[in-house]
Structure 1
């Protein structure tokens, strides 16, 4: 059975409003939620970036379903702090929290003033960080002066009774193939020409196990023109793809790079339609391949989307599931 969840976009919505939105999503019939984790938004038009780890405590306390988050350990977050924060959430809310670890993006990580590493080094740092986080979750006392990450007498005193699974956030087949060696599941996002299927295949072919999850960027409104307008206004800066999306430093850089992005390019990255049945069809096809789908309406006003999908889309998907 596929889980149909709601995506909480911290780049677009103030944390107080997003807390209301995730509660509303649960009431409307969404079965789970996931959260982004940004220091900066993709675009000045989005204009938000609440601290995810603070928000998650409130969101899990105010809901009853599972909520996961992405996280990039190694630069902005030292792996020991990621281990402590995620262990605390998992201890407080047993079996209701998951984390997907990724290699990060310069827009979020440059604030430490540390060097932004080349891609291969970032992936190696992620793998090293994931191993350290898992060892700390297992109750090891770690001192380590080697590699990308150093620790001195690191130990997590409050840990959940059940081990917290560490998933991988993957965009490309190459990152998914590497993640298969350490991850206990993976999440990717919808991409032009169905490239997310290639990412999933690479993970499975490399021996990757555990749940496969997909974050779906979509835009819905009363008319197609309105839905397209929302997508272009809010998500044009998000369709640039690697290496730009990994290496650009600020929202202004993204806005400049997105200046020539066409409506056609946005429509390749965002599923745009005014018809709930069309969205249900697209989502149902994705549900044939992924264990959980997290729907992200790329607009800043979420209530109309939550209501419409709760009434007209989710019932279709649950019946098919």
Structure 2
């Protein structure tokens, strides 16, 4: 059975409002919640970016559903520090927390001033971070010297069961790389044919039988014109696609690129429709790929109306 979850967008709402939206989403019938871990938003118009780990403790205390987070170890966060945060949440809320780790974006991770590496190097660093975190979450004392350095690290407050460490992938190549070692896959939604290629690559690379989560971006509103306006206002910069999203450092530069995204291109990143039936059909098609949970991200600012609509038309 595929569960439908709610994506809580730190980039678009202040932490207090986002906590209240998470509570509202559970009340409406969403079965899970996830968030992203950013230092900066994708656009200056989005205007927020709270600390995900601090928020998770408050949001999980006010709800009962499982939560997930996607973050990039090895840059802003040392992997031992991230493992400690994950262990703390998993110990406080048994069976309710999972973490997806990815290679990150310069927008968030470049703030330390370290050189921003190319994708193959980021992949290699991610694998090292996974190995360190996986061992720490099982109570081992870790010393590791490589792309990241860890000396005599140990976590002292551990959950009874370690939280699963998923890998995040947007392409078949990355998904295949993750398959043999990540404990699950988090990927993006959209065209089921394209999503299937990513999931198949993960399974072919060693991920067969492991759970798959999908983050699916939509723009719903009462009218088609308003749904399109919301998508272009809030999510146009992200629709640029390609490697450029991972290499730009400033929200203002994303806004400049977003000017080149119109109604014909936004659909590559966001399903824009005022028809709940169309969104319901999209979710069913993604569920048919074997997804365990699909997290719906409505990119507009009409979150309360979206959550209420979802409770009526998407979650039954």
TM-score relative to the length of structure 2: 0.97
CA distance in 1, matches of 2:91, 2:242: 36
Counterparts of 1:65-144 in structure 2 under 5 Å? 65-144=65-144
1:301 CA displacement: 2.9
CA distance in 2, matches of 1:143, 1:296: 39
Match of 1:159 in 2: 158
Contact 1:6/1:30, CA 8 A, preserved across alignment? yes
Counterparts of 1:100-249 in structure 2 under 5 Å? 100-144=100-144, 146-191=145-190, 194-208=193-207, 209-249=209-249
For the pair 1:310 / 2:311, whether they are aligned, the reply is: yes
CA distance in 2, matches of 1:143, 1:198: 37
1:127 CA displacement: 0.3
1:118 CA displacement: 1.2
1:101 CA displacement: 0.6
1:245 CA displacement: 0.6
Match of 2:265 in 1: 265
Contact 1:5/1:34, CA 8 A, preserved across alignment? yes
Contact 2:190/2:217, CA 8 A, preserved across alignment? no
> Which runs of at least 4 in structure 1 moved beyond 4 Å after TM superposition?
none
1:211 CA displacement: 0.7
Match of 1:51 in 2: 51
Match of 1:319 in 2: none
For the pair 1:301 / 2:302, whether they are aligned, the reply is: yes
CA distance in 2, matches of 1:52, 1:126: 20
Residue 64 of structure 1 aligns to a residue in which SS?
coil
Alpha-carbon RMSD across the aligned residues, in angstroms, is: 1.0
CA distance in 2, matches of 1:222, 1:212: 31
1:268 CA displacement: 2.2
CA distance in 2, matches of 1:193, 1:57: 34
Cα deviations by residue, 1:127-170 (Å, 9 ceiling, x for unpaired): 000000011111111223x2110012211000111122110111
1:194 CA displacement: 3.7
Cα deviations by residue, 1:25-68 (Å, 9 ceiling, x for unpaired): 00001111111110000000101100000000001100000010
CA distance in 1, matches of 2:192, 2:285: 14
Contact 1:99/1:165, CA 8 A, preserved across alignment? yes
Contact 2:189/2:286, CA 8 A, preserved across alignment? no
1:193 CA displacement: 7.2
Residue 25 of structure 1 aligns to a residue in which SS?
helix
CA distance in 2, matches of 1:143, 1:279: 48
Cα deviations by residue, 1:250-306 (Å, 9 ceiling, x for unpaired): 101111122211211102211111111111111111111112100000012310000
Contact 1:193/1:268, CA 8 A, preserved across alignment? no
CA distance in 2, matches of 1:312, 1:3: 15
CA distance in 2, matches of 1:266, 1:234: 11
Q: 5+ unaligned residues in a row in structure 2: which ranges? A: none
Cα deviations by residue, 1:218-258 (Å, 9 ceiling, x for unpaired): 01111000000000000001111121011011101111122
CA distance in 2, matches of 1:77, 1:182: 21
TM-score relative to the length of structure 1: 0.96
CA distance in 1, matches of 2:258, 2:231: 13
CA distance in 1, matches of 2:111, 2:29: 38
Cα deviations by residue, 1:62-100 (Å, 9 ceiling, x for unpaired): 000001010100111100001100000001000000000
1:191 CA displacement: 4.1
CA distance in 2, matches of 1:257, 1:292: 32
CA distance in 1, matches of 2:95, 2:215: 20
Residue 70 of structure 1 aligns to a residue in which SS?
strand
CA distance in 1, matches of 2:82, 2:43: 26
The answer to which of 295-304 and 222-231 deviates more is: 295-304
Residue 20 of structure 1 aligns to a residue in which SS?
helix
